[in-house]
Amino acid sequence: MTYVPVHCPDCQGVDVVLYSKQRHGAQRYHCNNTDCPRHIFLLQYRNHGRLPTAKQQMVNMALNGSGIRDTARVLRVSPTTVINILKKTRMAN
């Protein structure tokens, strides 16, 4: 049996407990820090298009003139994901 220290990706806190498993078997974790904006998280995401860094990269590439298909090909996500992220970002700003 091994011990794997789990830190919250937002607040870097160590007060993290097991939460449940997703349908495909990935373990979810719960951060018990009340000041943390994110309470439930995964250690490794399957859908890389939902990561905050990927979303920011999509917006940056769009601002620099890259097309939807080019962005999707470079980030290895669906063009539909790129379009949806850009629409949501436009509405938020």
pLDDT at 78 (0 to 100): 93
Q: For the whole model, what pTM was predicted?
A: 0.57
Note down pLDDT in tens along the chain; length 93 residues. Answer: 678 788 888 888 888 888 889 888 888 999 998 888 878 888 877 777 878 889 999 999 999 999 999 999 999 999 999 999 999 887 555
Which pLDDT value is given to residue 92? 58
**Domain ranges for the chain:** 1-45, 48-92
Q: Which of 63, 11, 61 is nearest to 39 (CA)?
A: 11
Q: Which residue is it, tokens 């091994």?
A: 2
> Quick one: pLDDT at residue 60?
94
Question: Contact 71/58 with Cβ under 8 angstroms?
Answer: yes
Is-contact 71 64, C-beta < 8 A? no
Residue 43: its pLDDT value, please?
83
